[in-house]
């Protein structure tokens, strides 16, 4: 074997080893450094920081399209209206407008209520380009504004098989990168 052939074999060997270790997930997945909130939420722009508190003020919600949802819980049927959670996440920069970048597949959406109840969704399950699971933040059901017991904001995920992840008295929505 000539020196040139040996060099080629060595080079190929290293390239193969490097490729295999990358495929085996040897390199840790890292997100971009946290950035201040308030960017436009496009994939080309920096990720929202983690944790990211999604604004729930009336002015933010009023800018989003209204949607309706029919849902049933414990034999009671509900006709509700409010905003789509993915639209809220996008408008506030918590969800990119384009394809969800790989590192954001490890993000979760924590919904907290005034009574201390908490539930999780994954960001990817809510992303219209990935899990496409429908969830709405509603403020009116069966023709009336929600009262203190249920509202003023209630999260409804009509595709869930039981309403355990519907959240009454929504107080906060926080997007977090899993540790």
Ligand X SMILES: Nc1nc2c(c(=O)[nH]1)N[C@H]1C(S)=C(S)[C@@H](COP(=O)(O)O)O[C@H]1N2
Strands 154-156 and 52-53, sheet pairing: unpaired
In angstroms, rounded to a whole number, what is the distance separating the alpha carbons of residues 176 and 39?
A: 17
Pick the stretch among 1-9, 36-44, 127-135, 162-170 that binds ligand X (CB under 6 A). Answer: 162-170
State both tokens at 17: 């080893």
Size of site (CB under 5 A) for Mo ion: 1
Which lies closer to Mo ion via its Cβ, residue 100 or residue 157? 157
Q: Please, which of residues 60-99 interact with ligand X by CB under 6 A?
A: 73-74
Determine if 156 is a binding residue for ligand X (CB under 6 A): no
State both tokens at 65: 């399209």
Pick the stretch among 40-48, 95-103, 123-131, 159-167 that binds ligand X (CB under 6 A). Answer: 159-167
Size of site (CB under 6 A) for ligand X: 11
> What does the CA dihedral 123, 129, 133, 135 come to, rounded to 10 degrees?
70
Q: How far is the CB of 165 from Mo ion (least distance, A)?
A: 9
The closest of 111, 70, 74, 68 to 89, measured between CA atoms, is 111
Determine if 164 is a binding residue for Mo ion (CB under 5 A): yes
Helices marked H in 73-159 = 85-91, 123-126
Looking at 100, 153, 167, 175, which residue binds ligand X (CB under 6 A)?
167
Can you tell me which residue has the tokens 């052939």?
5
Which lies closer to ligand X via its Cβ, residue 25 or residue 116? 116
Residues near Mo ion (CB under 5 A): 164
């Amino acid at each position: 074997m000539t020196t040139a052939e040996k060099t080629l074999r060595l080079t190929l060997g290293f390239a193969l080893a490097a490729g295999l270790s990358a495929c085996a997930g040897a390199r840790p997945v890292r997100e971009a450094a946290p950035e201040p909130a308030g960017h436009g939420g496009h994939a080309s722009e920096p990720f929202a920081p983690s944790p990211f508190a999604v604004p729930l003020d009336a002015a933010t919600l009023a800018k989003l399209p209204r949607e309706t949802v029919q849902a049933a819980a414990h034999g009671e049927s509900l006709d509700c209206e409010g905003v789509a959670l993915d639209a809220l996440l996008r408008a506030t920069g918590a969800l990119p407008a384009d394809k969800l970048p790989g590192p954001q597949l490890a993000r979760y959406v924590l919904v907290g209520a005034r009574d201390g109840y908490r539930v999780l969704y994954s960001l990817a399950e809510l992303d219209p380009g990935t899990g496409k699971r429908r969830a709405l933040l509603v403020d009116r059901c069966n023709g009336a504004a929600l009262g203190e017991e249920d509202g003023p904001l209630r999260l409804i995920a009509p595709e869930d098989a039981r309403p355990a992840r519907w959240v009454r008295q929504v107080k906060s929505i926080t997007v977090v990168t899993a540790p």
